[in-house]
């Protein structure tokens, strides 16, 4: 009886209370698994108005969308991007100066010939104008007279200046471009491609940012006449800060535009659009497409060793290899993890090597699609070793049977 009171009765009471508590407790809600976030689908680029066009990522220089990118077309006043580039380069080299007084010749005053689109800075014949004002007049107002005056001051004649333009174009790798004049008025054998103009625009922004900033100015007054920038995107979107418009009957409506959002910049070049509005709409659509669906990553830093293969007959036993410039790659959003990199390195490396000397090749692919191939270079000097070191390695090389191969390297080092 005592056992019942001291043991069984309390146990029964505890069991009853526990069951009552469980009965009154709310039933837990069923656990619904969280859905997997789908990969962002990337649509094809917009079908824009233009005979040829390209969309370029500024940081990597990659063309990420295109139509007839290498077609040779009349560039109209997009020519003045190169005029601007040459003048900026000559200023940087100390050959001319922003404060130089420039005399306006009859050739410049008349605008360089018949058949132009009539854009002018209203310069007076025989007057002297500071070079800086001519630069503003050409970039903002698209003045043909300003472009020709700049050309004559820089090279002595417009014809000689065209020679400079073509020399710089070759230096930049513009393989489908040839200039005859500084303003873009129609002329035989005067042409450029959308790809080349994107390459040129990128070089202008990269090398002469202060000069490029002029193209974001919305209006400029000269000789009592105020004129607005013809790039209407400057008013439409605050991220747009350049570059140049163009139009002739032969060329159609053209626009090179650039915009910056955060750390990303895109460049769009549209040639042969049907109207002023169409060229602006087309360039804006391309820029928005690039910002929305593409991203740029730094895969490898300049000067960092990515591999250290065996070095023969050197002071050191290995040769550190890397890239001479930061390697940037632009891919569709969500595809970074699919990037792969590999290195082609010769089987036998014999000292000496100089820092920056090409030794092999670094390849970057997206799946089976090649994206970039860049030189692998020595990231430090590798001089020859002493006499006995070289002698010993010469003996060992008799037994060396290495073969050149392709070695994987982790992306993002």
Q: Is 24 contained in some domain?
A: no
Give the residue with greater pLDDT, 99 vs 389: 99
Peptide bond into 243 cis (omega under 30): yes
Of 395 and 257, which is predicted with more confidence? 257
Q: Are residues 289 and 306 in the same domain?
A: no
Would residue 170 show up in a list of annotated catalytic residues for this protein?
A: no
Are 176 and 254 within one domain? yes
Strands in 131-228 per DSSP E: 219-222, 225-228
* Max avg pLDDT among 10-14, 88-92, 114-118: 88-92
Within a domain: 19: no
Indicate the residue among 294, 329, 345 that finishes a domain.
294
227 neighbors 141 (Cβ within 8 angstroms): yes
Q: How far apart are the C-alpha atoms of 323 and 311, rounded to whole Å?
A: 18
In a domain, 12, yes or no: no
Q: What is the pLDDT of residues 110-129, one digit of tens each?
A: 886 543 446 788 899 999 99
Same domain, 254 and 305: no
The pLDDT value given to residue 33: 61
* Catalytically annotated residue among 52, 60, 142, 183: 142
At residue 404, the pLDDT reads 58
Alpha helices in 25-72 (DSSP H): none
| 14 pLDDT higher than 60 | no
Total count of domains within the chain: 2
Domain containing residue 329: 301-409
For residue 298, indicate whether it is catalytic.
no
What are the pLDDT digits (tens) for 299-337?
Answer: 999 999 999 999 999 999 999 999 999 999 999 998 999
Examine the residue annotation and report whether 258 is marked as an active-site residue of this protein.
Answer: no
Which of 60, 77, 88, 215 is catalytic? The answer is 77
- Residue at 349 is within a domain: yes
Per residue in 200-232, pLDDT tens? 999 999 999 999 999 999 999 877 888 899 999
Phi, psi of 205 (to 5 degrees): -65, -40
Provide the pLDDT confidence category of residue 411 given band limits of 50, 70 and 90.
confident
Which pLDDT tens digit goes with each residue over 22-63?
445 455 555 656 655 566 678 999 999 999 999 999 999 999
Catalytic hit among 80, 119, 258, 313 = 80
For residues 67-79, give the mean pLDDT. 98
**Looking at residue 29, what is its pLDDT?**
54
CA distances from 364 to 14, 146, 343, 379 (A): 70, 45, 9, 20
Same domain, 131 and 86: yes
């Amino acid at each position: 009886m005592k056992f019942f009171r001291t043991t069984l009765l309390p146990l029964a009471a505890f069991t009853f209370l526990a069951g009552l508590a469980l009965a009154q407790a709310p039933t837990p809600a069923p656990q619904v698994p969280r859905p997997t976030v789908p990969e962002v689908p990337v649509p094809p680029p917009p079908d824009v108005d233009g005979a040829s066009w390209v969309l370029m990522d500024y940081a990597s220089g990659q063309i990420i969308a295109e139509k007839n990118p290498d077609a040779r077309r009349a560039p109209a006043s997009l020519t003045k991007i190169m005029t601007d580039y040459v003048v900026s380069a000559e200023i940087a080299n100390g050959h001319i100066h922003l404060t130089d007084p420039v005399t306006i010749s009859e050739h410049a005053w008349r605008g360089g010939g018949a058949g132009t689109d009539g854009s002018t800075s209203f310069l007076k014949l025989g007057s002297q104008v500071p070079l800086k004002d001519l630069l503003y007049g050409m970039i903002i107002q698209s003045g043909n007279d300003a472009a020709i005056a700049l050309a004559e001051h820089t090279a002595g004649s417009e014809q000689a200046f065209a020679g400079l333009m073509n020399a710089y174009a070759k230096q930049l790798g513009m393989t489908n471009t040839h200039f005859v004049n500084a303003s873009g008025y129609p002329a035989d054998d005067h042409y450029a491609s959308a790809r080349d103009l994107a390459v040129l625009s990128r070089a202008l922004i990269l090398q002469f940012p202060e000069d490029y900033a002029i193209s974001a100015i919305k209006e400029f007054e000269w000789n009592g006449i105020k004129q607005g920038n013809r790039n209407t995107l400057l008013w439409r979107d605050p991220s747009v800060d350049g570059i140049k418009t163009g139009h002739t009957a032969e060329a159609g409506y053209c626009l090179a535009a650039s915009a910056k959002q955060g750390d990303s910049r895109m460049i769009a070049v549209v040639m042969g659009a049907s109207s002023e509005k169409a060229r602006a709409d087309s360039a804006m659509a391309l820029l928005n497409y690039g910002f929305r669906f593409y991203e740029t990553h730094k895969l490898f830093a300049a000067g960092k060793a990515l591999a250290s293969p065996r070095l023969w007959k050197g002071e050191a036993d290995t040769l550190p290899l890397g890239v001479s410039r930061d390697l940037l790659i632009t891919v569709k959003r969500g595809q970074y993890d699919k990037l792969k990199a590999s290195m082609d390195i010769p089987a036998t490396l014999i000292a000496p090597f100089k820092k920056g000397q090409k030794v092999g090749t670094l390849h970057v692919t997206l799946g089976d699609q090649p994206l970039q191939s860049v030189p692998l270079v020595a990231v430090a000097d590798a001089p020859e070793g002493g006499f006995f070191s070289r002698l010993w390695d010469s003996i060992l090389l008799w037994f060396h049977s290495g073969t050149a191969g392709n070695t994987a390297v982790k992306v993002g080092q």
